[in-house]
Amino acid sequence: MANEASGTPRLADVARAAGVSQSTASRVLNGSTRQVAGTYRDRVLAAAKQVGYSTNLAAQAMARGRYPAVALVVGDIRDQFFARIAFGATREASRRGYVLNLLSTEGDESRERDLIEELRRQRPEALVLARKRDTSARAGSGLMEQLIGFQRENGRVVIVGEPAEPVMAIRPPDADGGKALATALLELGYRRFVLFLADPTIPSQRDRLDGFRVGLSAGGVALPDSQVYEVPQSMAGGAAAVKEFLADRGDTEIIVSTEDSVAWGAIHELQSRGVAVPDDLAIAGYGHRASSPIGYDADWLTTVRSPLEEMGAAAISAALDPLAVDIPTPTPEVHLGPSTPARYPSVRH
């Protein structure tokens, strides 16, 4: 029965409805480390739902010594890289019964240290930091000192991005994705490539190039530096690269970009200049974004799906598992679309 005076269900009401002691109900609902038998746990949870009792997070914090949540710090949440990681992390945290606190640097990496310093005071049980660039998570840096401090005082830290000892990390499998894309394009009959490298200061972009070269090399095809164009990571970057590329196009069969946004910009510029894609020149990208910015179905573009949602989930799982010693890396998937038709009749798309 709910508290008649206030109308607000109390822990005692849950215990009474479940036929257990109040301390047992508290251990189930307030996150005590002491285990409760499955039968009693189910009864308490059913009773809490019956009387309309909501878990008191402050009580959980007192029982556990920390806030029953996991924090996720990302860059600009408008960036699909971070948004997809956050989606997977949120889903996994919810599956485990945790609250996920999402904080964004809004693209200002200098805020990372301040946000983590604040989280040390809030005391979530774990922290996941998603980052693109390998800039300041180094031994002795201010950011690393904050990460180690959090790990010492609260719980495990996991980085999604560049490895940074002694913090556990999961790195995007971009080299594997680049290699798989090269293999798939070779099987379609392509042999003469140009590559648009989006922002080479980002490690994942360099990994995509390196993996792509490894895949081509295994098929007996080289990709010299003269066929690699370094471009900004944007549609405008792809358009600008096309203008340079067309001046010395040669017998290129396909342009491969290490980022979908660059590929879409290249497609738009090529078509505005009378170059038919894919009839005159095929195009492939990397990332498998959810939508096209120029009106195509997103699946029209041949690309690689980065397993970012899976990485977000894996990072949460590892952060909350005290026995985890490494994080299995999900596998990227090549998506073949109409932007890369089979080059020769004997090759099936």
Q: How confident is the model at residue 90 (pLDDT cuts 50, 70, 90)?
A: very high
Question: Could you tell me if 313 and 91 are in contact, meaning their C-beta atoms sit under 8 angstroms apart?
Answer: yes
Higher-confidence position of 174 and 50: 174
Please give the Cα distance from 182 to 208 (Å, whole number): 10
Q: Which residues contact 106 (CB under 8 A, 6 or more apart)?
A: 75, 76, 77
Please give the Cα distance from 175 to 163 (Å, whole number): 15
Residue 328: how many CB atoms within 10 A of its CB? 11
The predicted pLDDT at position 63 comes to 55
The token pair that represents 87 in the structure block: 């989606």
DSSP per residue, 157-225: EEEESS-BTTBEEE---HHHHHHHHHHHHHHTT---EEEEEE-TTSHHHHHHHHHHHHHHHHTT----G
Please give the Cα distance from 260 to 304 (Å, whole number): 9
Is residue 55 within a helix (H) or strand (E), and if so which, with residue range? none
Query: For strand 303-305 and strand 333-335, is the pairing parallel, antiparallel, or unpaired?
Result: antiparallel
Mean per-residue pLDDT over the chain, rounded: 87
Q: How confident is the model at residue 121 (pLDDT cuts 50, 70, 90)?
A: confident
Question: Could you tell me if 327 and 170 are in contact, meaning their C-beta atoms sit under 8 angstroms apart?
Answer: yes
Q: Residue 195: is its pLDDT beyond 50? A: yes
The token pair that represents 141 in the structure block: 């840096």
pTM of the full structure: 0.77
> What does the DSSP 8-state code read for residue 53?
P
If you compute the radius of gyration of the chain from its CA atoms, what whole number of angstroms results? 25
Edge-to-edge strand list for the sheet holding 168-170: 99-104, 67-74, 124-130, 157-160, 168-170
Higher-confidence position of 90 and 5: 90
Q: Residue 62: is its pLDDT beyond 60? A: no
Please give the Cα distance from 202 to 132 (Å, whole number): 7
Strand stretches in 47-98, DSSP E: 67-74
Higher-confidence position of 135 and 130: 130
Query: For strand 193-198 and strand 254-257, is the pairing parallel, antiparallel, or unpaired?
Result: parallel
Q: Give the bridge partners for 303, in sequence order.
A: 335
Angle at 132 between CA 128 and CA 135, to 5 degrees: 95
Kindly report the length of the chain.
349
Question: Could you tell me if 291 and 235 are in contact, meaning their C-beta atoms sit under 8 angstroms apart?
Answer: no
**What does the pLDDT look like over 16-35, one tens digit per residue?**
998 988 888 877 776 554 56
Please give the Cα distance from 278 to 285 (Å, whole number): 13
The predicted pLDDT at position 255 comes to 98
The token pair that represents 50 in the structure block: 């019956």
The answer to whether the Cα torsion of 27, 29, 32, 34 is positive or negative is positive
Q: How confident is the model at residue 4 (pLDDT cuts 50, 70, 90)?
A: very low
